[in-house]
Amino acid sequence: KQEVTQIPAALSVPEGENLVLNCSFTDSAIYNLQWFRQDPGKGLTSLLLIQSSQREQTSGRLNASLDKSSGRSTLYIAASQPGDSATYLCAVRHNTGFQKLVFGTGTRLLVSP
């Protein structure tokens, strides 16, 4: 059974700092991995999707990497801003059958001015 873990559960940093969020998964037979952002009381916003054949994806100040063999992904946020404060979730999709996503419990990020 696939299990997804995100560490740390919460992170507080001053504005301008570069930071890394971690995601690990137990079964490396994944099709892709998706990073989401969730603001309090809101739905999920898709940030980046990495296919199993890719090593990384970039969007603006965000860079996500994937090491499938070790079961790890990182989300790097450059020059953090208070507007980046949110919960960040990662989810993996198995490489066979239906497109089910298995989610981690998230990292709650607070960027202070």
CB of 9 or CB of 78, closer to another protein = 9
Separation CA 28–CA 8 (nearest Å): 21
Shortest Å, Cβ 112 to another protein: 23
Count residues near another protein (CB under 8 A): 25
Residue in 91, 92, 109, 111 binding another protein, rule: CB under 8 A: 91
Q: How far is CA 97 from the centre of its chain?
A: 23
Interacting residues with another protein between 48 and 87 (CB under 8 A): 49, 51
Compute φ and ψ for 83, nearest 5 degrees.
-65, -10
Instruction: Indicate if the alpha-carbon torsion angle 1, 38, 69, 55 is positive or negative.
Output: positive
What is the bridge-based pairing of β-strands 56-59 and 86-94? unpaired
Query: In terms of Cα–Cα distance, which of 46, 38, 43, 40 is closest to 93?
Result: 46
| Residue span binding another protein (CB under 8 A) among the ranges 13-21, 63-71, 72-80, 100-108 | 100-108
Separation CA 90–CA 106 (nearest Å): 7
CB of 97 or CB of 113, closer to another protein = 97
Interacting residues with another protein between 2 and 41 (CB under 8 A): 4, 31-32, 34, 36, 41
Residues contributing to the site for another protein (CB under 8 A) = 4, 31-32, 34, 36, 41-46, 49, 51, 89, 91, 93, 98-106
